[in-house]
Copies of this chain bind each other. A is one copy, B any other.
Amino acid sequence: MEKTLEKNQFLFSYFEGFSNLSSQSRTALNNICSSVKIPKNKDLQAIGHTCRTIYFVKNGLCRVYYFKDGVDITESFAFENTLIARVESLFTGKPSKKGIQTLEDSEFIGIASQALFELYDDFPEVERLFRKIFELAYVDTVNRIESIQFHSAEERYKGLLENSPSILQRVPLKHIASYLGITQVSLSRIRAKI
């Protein structure tokens, strides 16, 4: 048991940034976690499936993506030490038209969402933890709207580099371009100008 908790220690350190958990809650949470290793450029979650697992990125890197008129669009990136889920499916129970794909060999901790929601009944502090986690994720999303709508592509590119300095070394520019909402040609022009 001690050993198992150790395996998920990074996840529980992440949780501690939000609130402290009783050992009962930690054990219960630990029991619904599983480890997943995925090589580079493979799907962690396929397009069309309903989101039934929340992932914590232990190491590596992935992106949420989908196809718009046949074009591959990156909705978001998830680096080490963050949670990733397709919330529009997780919270509605509907199939997601988005997938999650690794951009490096990666290791994840999967949290079974149905089991998690059942834990909420017995452990209010677990419900509270995830409430807080998703509240702050919601805030990030609200702030991103502002960034998309009222900053130029050049400003957004510079902002992305500031927030994720390693991204240029780890992510193809085509994904960065679609994440920024512009074409790869347009991103090339911006990079040439800077």
Q: Are A145 and B143 in contact (CB under 8 A)?
A: no
Interface members, chain A 126-147 (any B CB < 8 Å):
127-128, 131, 134-139, 141-146
CA distance A188 to B97 in the complex (A): 34
Stoichiometry, as copies per complex, reads 2
Q: Are B142 and A87 in contact (CB under 8 A)?
A: yes
From known contacts A120-B128, A127-B128, A141-B141, infer whether A135 and B91 are also in contact, taking CB-CB under 8 Å: yes
Task: Give every chain B residue within 8 A of A75 (Cβ-Cβ).
Answer: 145-146
Q: Does A164 contact B (CB under 8 A)?
A: no
A181 in complex: contacting residue of B137, B138, B150, CB < 8 Å:
B150
Q: Does A6 contact B (CB under 8 A)?
A: no
Q: Does A68 contact B (CB under 8 A)?
A: yes
Q: Does A88 contact B (CB under 8 A)?
A: yes
**In the complex, what's the smallest C-beta–C-beta distance from A22 to chain B, in angstroms?**
15
**In the complex, what's the smallest C-beta–C-beta distance from A41 to chain B, in angstroms?**
23
Q: Which residue of the partner chain B has the closest CB to A73? A: B150
Chain A 82-126 interface mask (CB, 8 Å, partner B; 1/0): 000001100110000000000000000000000000001000100
A-B pairs with beta carbons under 8 Å apart, 28 shown: A68-B150, A73-B150, A75-B145, A75-B146, A87-B135, A87-B138, A87-B142, A88-B139, A88-B142, A88-B143, A91-B136, A92-B139, A120-B128, A124-B124, A124-B127, A127-B127, A131-B131, A131-B134, A134-B134, A134-B135, A137-B138, A138-B138, A141-B145, A145-B145, A148-B148, A148-B149, A148-B181, A149-B181
